[in-house]
């Protein structure tokens, strides 16, 4: 078809204008290095992941929070990413979650890093250190003070990416069938207490008994153990410990701010589109915030309930007992860090941060709790 002179002039001007717009758009784009980030989003590709846990199925707060997180991820991804949560023992035994995710049998796991201390002694320092930092301070160290970088370094050889997965807040000191009036009362005491706290108890002359959560009540009732720590009033009430041990001690010197963890298979995570990676990270951080809030909201109510309705005797550890346990705790940490260079590297970071943040706390929260409440 023949094109008129005026028509050719119009097309030429249009082509020049389009070229100019294209040049302007290109000039406005940020510079991209040799390795370009892939922001392409496929609305059709679906991802189905498996999350295994060290918690019993549908466990209050901890299991409930994981179900919420899975819903948040599914909603934010418009259904492209779905995560199935499996409680402890439903697919993977609770203490095999680390290996399951490392080997790719599952893509994610929720637990506490001191469960892997037999494999990685330094792991327990990201969970709880006796007489260490509270939840707020642990969050600050891990997220903003260099702790997470060390955590990632520790897990990298196992193709794992750790993320802070929540915090229970200060735990209680435990349930006892008899009163603790002096260090002599800890000698020979059979108690369930994992992690570094258990090593401290052993130094004090106690016997550490590692019992699965679903066996704690029966063992305490039958005298297989004389005492147990668990989490805090909300969960302890649900477990019914007040029926078999009336003395409820505080504070939880062994776990003042225990950090929970989310571990992700690093290779599988990095193979995801970037938007899904960020959705997962954001949901895990939301879970972390929600978990601590849920514990804080529930614990005081159930503590009062047990005291008023169940006759629980609330007791504070004697100050001389706490001072002696603190000495033992320092000895335990010194022994662990002397034997494992990575433990020393992690603890040195923890210690330096705690020293700084303690100075800040002394002119803020310490005064507030002591003089203003």
Burial 4-32 (b: 16+ CB within 10 A, else e): eeeeeeeeeeeeeeeeeeeeeeeeeeeee
pTM of the model as a whole: 0.86
pLDDT, greater one: 156 or 372: 156
Residue 167 above 90 pLDDT? yes
Mean pLDDT for 109-125 is 96
CA atoms within 13 A on the CB side of 210: 9
Distance CA 123, CA 336 (A): 11
Q: Tokens 């603190």 sit at which residue?
A: 326
Closest CA to 147 of 158, 133, 157: 133
**In angstroms, what CA-CA distances link 311 with 216, 319, 334?**
20, 24, 40
- Residue ranges covered by each domain of the chain: 47-166+258-296
Say if residues 142 and 258 touch (Cβ distance below 8 Å): no
CATH code linked to domain 47-166+258-296: 3.40.190.170
Mean pLDDT for 342-359 is 96
Say if residues 286 and 72 touch (Cβ distance below 8 Å): yes
Mean pLDDT for 195-214 is 91
Mean pLDDT for 225-230 is 96
Mean pLDDT for 254-261 is 96
Residue-averaged pLDDT of the chain = 90
Which of 13-17, 164-168, 218-222, 322-326 bottoms out in mean pLDDT, i.e. has the lowest?
Answer: 13-17
pLDDT of residue 37: 53
């Amino acid at each position: 078809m023949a094109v008129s002179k005026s028509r050719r002039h119009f097309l030429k001007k249009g082509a020049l204008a389009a070229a100019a717009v294209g040049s302007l758009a290109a000039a406005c784009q940020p510079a991209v290095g040799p390795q370009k980030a892939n922001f392409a989003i496929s609305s059709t590709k679906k991802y189905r992941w498996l999350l295994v846990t060290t918690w019993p199925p549908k466990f209050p707060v901890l299991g409930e929070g994981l179900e919420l997180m899975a819903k948040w991820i599914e909603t934010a991804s418009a259904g492209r990413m779905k995560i199935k949560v499996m409680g402890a023992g439903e697919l993977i035994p609770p203490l095999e979650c680390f290996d399951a995710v490392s080997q790719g049998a599952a893509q994610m796991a929720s637990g506490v890093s001191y469960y892997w201390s037999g494999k990685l002694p330094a792991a327990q320092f990201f969970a709880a250190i006796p007489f260490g930092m509270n939840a707020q301070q642990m969050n600050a160290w891990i997220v903003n003070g260099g702790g997470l970088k060390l955590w990632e370094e520790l897990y990298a050889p196992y193709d794992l990416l750790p993320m802070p997965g929540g915090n229970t807040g200060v735990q209680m000191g435990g349930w006892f069938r008899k009163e603790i009036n002096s260090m002599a009362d800890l000698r020979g005491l059979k108690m369930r207490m994992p992690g570094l706290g258990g090593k401290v108890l052993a130094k004090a002359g106690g016997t550490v008994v590692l019992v699965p959560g679903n066996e704690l009540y029966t063992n305490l009732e039958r005298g297989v153990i004389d005492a147990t720590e668990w989490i805090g009033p909300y969960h302890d009430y649900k477990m019914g410990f007040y029926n078999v041990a009336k003395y409820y001690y505080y504070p939880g010197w062994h776990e003042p701010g225990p950090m929970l963890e989310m571990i992700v298979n690093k290779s599988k995570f990095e193979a995801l589109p970037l938007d899904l990676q960020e959705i997962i990270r954001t949901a895990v951080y939301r879970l972390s915030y929600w978990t601590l809030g849920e514990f804080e909201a529930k614990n005081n109510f159930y503590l009062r309930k047990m005291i008023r309705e169940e006759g629980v005797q609330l007791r504070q550890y004697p100050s001389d007992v706490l001072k002696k346990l603190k000495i033992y705790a320092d000895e335990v940490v010194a022994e662990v860090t002397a034997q494992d260079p990575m433990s020393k590297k992690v603890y040195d970071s923890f210690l330096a941060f705690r020293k700084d943040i303690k100075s800040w706390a002394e002119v803020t929260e310490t005064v507030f709790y002591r003089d203003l409440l």
